[in-house]
Structure 1
Amino acid sequence: MAPVAHVDLSEVVRQRIRGLRQARGWSLDSLAARCHISPSTLSRIETGHRRIDLDQLVALARELGTTIDHLVEPVDDADVIIRPLQHQEPGLTTWVLSRDAAQHGGRLVAKMRITPDRRTGPGHLAVHPGWEWFTVLSGTVVLHLGGRQMTVDAGEAAEFSTMIPHSIGALDGPVEILTMFDQDGERAHTESSGHAPDTD
């Protein structure tokens, strides 16, 4: 296991201030004037040669359009690295690869491994509000969509409204897919299984 790097929070705050300033296209002089501090003081704050006073932090957060909480939020690998838990049911294993869909444009991403013993096709089609997209990582998917049956091979993708009766299965062996639901699709899949999101 790689060693965990120690992160200096004050350095992170300085980087955030400098990054937000530059993203707005402001010079040191421009932001300093807005905050009623000297450009040399702001320069020393950004380079770590001066501690930030609370009143300066308040003014900087206000002018940069953020909050003190966001500027001083601790950095932790947990806000980046996702260690997915495995959910298993007959013919299907699911690993959720993203966080709360509400935080990511209403979408949730999962990796799924489907085996031929998963029940699909007529009699096992589901309908619910929403939208779904998947790409096949390995194997061949059998996609039942309305009255159609299609095969989707490794390297190909499919996208469809989940208001069309549908099911996703495996042809001639296990398949692995990377799939994405919108919030309606996530809700329907979660409620249908009572666990992790599920393809129908």
Structure 2
Amino acid sequence: MTQGDGDLDALVRKRIRGLRAALGMSLDDLAAACYISPSTLSRIETGHRRISLDQLTAIARALGTTLDALVESADADVVIRPRHEPERGVTTWTLRHEAGPGGTTVAKMRIERPVPGPDDLRAHPGWEWFTVLSGTIALRLGERLILVETGEAAEFSTMVPHAFGAHEGPAELLGIFDHDGRRTHLRRLPE
């Protein structure tokens, strides 16, 4: 079932009112920040006035959000499904993905493959962070082999040639990857 125009319109109005309240802004505060009269903003929130694109853009900016976030459909799939890659020994759940060169991706990964050898290390600009949820991750950073156990975390410059894998059985991690790390470790995500 798709969301009708009336439903989306009502949802956008609820989001505006909800964000305004969450930020502790009065109608007057938001109206001043958007250069809209308080009475016009009130009629927008209550559905008694149509919202123009320029008003919606100004409201989004004043609320510290994006136009996309205000008009996003509520019908989006909320279930995060794993992507199995048996040939790589990895299963990935992409929890959050921000596209573009400055974006980051948060992913849970189940690693079953051992750490690649010294000849298979990769380097790229940026930093990576991960915390081990279960098992032990073997992190190869240049000449060093570091064991990161359950409950521990690692942060490192990805300019150092690196790779990671499971140590003595499967391991799970929660990682934050920048643009280049996402392409190297997660693969097949939209840019």
Whether these two folds match at TM > 0.5 is: yes
Following the alignment from structure 2 to structure 1, what is the Cα–Cα distance between the partners of residues 139 and 87? Answer: 19
Amino acid at match of 1:11: A
Q: Which residue of 2 aligns with 1:144?
A: 140
Q: How far off its partner does 1:180 sit?
A: 1.7
Contact 1:130 1:185 in 2 (8 A): yes
Q: Which residue of 2 aligns with 1:13?
A: 12
Following the alignment from structure 1 to structure 2, what is the Cα–Cα distance between the partners of residues 185 and 130? Answer: 8
Gaps of 5+ in 1: none
Q: Which residue of 1 aligns with 2:36?
A: 35
Structure 2 length normalisation: TM-score? 0.70
Q: How far off its partner does 1:183 sit?
A: 0.9
Q: How far off its partner does 1:28 sit?
A: 4.3
Q: Which residue of 1 aligns with 2:100?
A: 102
Gaps of 5+ in 2: 62-66
Deviations 1:61-101 (A, max 9, x none): 365355xx659725324175543433332433333332343
Following the alignment from structure 1 to structure 2, what is the Cα–Cα distance between the partners of residues 20 and 97? Answer: 23
Following the alignment from structure 1 to structure 2, what is the Cα–Cα distance between the partners of residues 82 and 110? Answer: 10
Pairing 1:61-72 to 2, within 5 Å after superposition: 61=56, 63-64=58-59
Structure 1 length normalisation: TM-score? 0.67
Pairing 1:75-154 to 2, within 5 Å after superposition: 75-78=73-76, 81-102=79-100, 106-115=103-112, 117-154=113-150
Q: 1:161 to 1:26 in 2, by over 3 A?
A: same
Q: Which residue of 1 aligns with 2:64?
A: none
Query: Equivalent residue of 1:163, what SS?
Result: coil
- For these two proteins, the number of residue pairs brought into alignment is 182
1:52 paired to 2:49: yes
Q: Which has the larger radius of gyration?
A: 1
Pairing 1:167-186 to 2, within 5 Å after superposition: 167-186=163-182
Amino acid at match of 1:123: D
Q: Indicate which of 158, 161, 165 corresponds to 1:165.
A: 161
